Amino acid sequence: MKIGIVGGGSIGLLFAGYLGELFDVTLIVRRESQVNALLRNGVTIHKESTSITTIVQATTSMKAESDFNLVIVTVKEYDLSSIENELIEIGITLPILFVQNGIGHINWVKSLPHPNLVAASVEHGAMRVNDDTVRHLGEAKTNIALIRGEWGVVEEVAAKSIDTFPFLYKSDYEEMLLSKLFINVLINPLTALTGVTNGKLVDNPHFHRIQRELFHELLLLFPHMEGIISIEDVIGICHNTYLNRSSMLKDIETLRKTEIESILGVLLERAHEENHFVPIMNILYSLVKGIEREGLGG
């Protein structure tokens, strides 16, 4: 089976490194310099005291490939529209697996002409070291759920990778993505603003109080999620990823654009439409946007 993975960030490299041991994997990235590094070195995954290196193919254009059996899209939500034409041109019969944070991209995904679309929610911790190397910080699983259509070749991928890179089927993609969104909202903006690791959020009573207030604001917007995810679930994740630095914190530190729009911006729009009072979300959003603007010189 031939798999195309769009995006050479931490998640794209992690997927390529593990799935490349089992399938013919091609990474589609933006820069020729990353293509050269991947073709020369493969993908290396560091996990605890071990390392694996997997040979992969790499290119800057999906158009150069026409025989993929599956495409996995790992770019951030704000980059999706830039690859829309390529996803259509490569063939609308091709199943696509989308790996993004938040829920703001779902309507865009549904607008695509492809009949078989799958959403994914990643629980692994990963940090990109360079163009061809990623550090696997927390071994977990990838949740997947159908947006529409049939599983098709995704079932083969899940079956063959069960021992090395497991996938877990979920019946409701909205609940799956919202569960991950709750976690992102309660961790990412706070760590980006405070500069602390995930575990410090629950150790520090002042930070943790804000987490609890945020959780209640989220339940105002999504009351049906009560009982599906709890604040105790988030506390457990913070403890299990105690030393991890969130992706938003790393974006702030490296002066990159954050995912604040797809994590909080879309929620503030919903709160406005439904007349909900969510002061903590508003403050965190404005602070992250302000810091992001200063860092990006805008």
- Beta carbons within 8 Å of 179's beta carbon, 6+ residues apart: 121, 225, 228, 229
How many alpha carbons lie under 13 Å from residue 75 in its C-beta half-sphere?
Answer: 19
Name the 3-class secondary structure at 28: strand
Q: Which of 245, 248, 235 is nearest to 295 (CA)?
A: 248
Angle subtended at Cα 166 by Cα 218 and Cα 13, rounded to the nearest 5 degrees: 85
Q: How many Å apart are CA 115 and CA 102, to the nearest integer?
A: 22
- Tokens found for residue 89: 């041109």
Give a three-class secondary structure readout of 183-231: HHHHHHHHHHHHCCCHHHHHHCHHHHHHHHHHHHHHHHHCHHHECCECH
257 is catalytic: no
Question: Which of 180, 200, 257, 289 is the catalytic position?
Answer: 180
Could you tell me the end-to-end alpha-carbon distance of the chain, in angstroms, rounded to an integer? 44
What amino acid positions are annotated as catalytic residues?
180
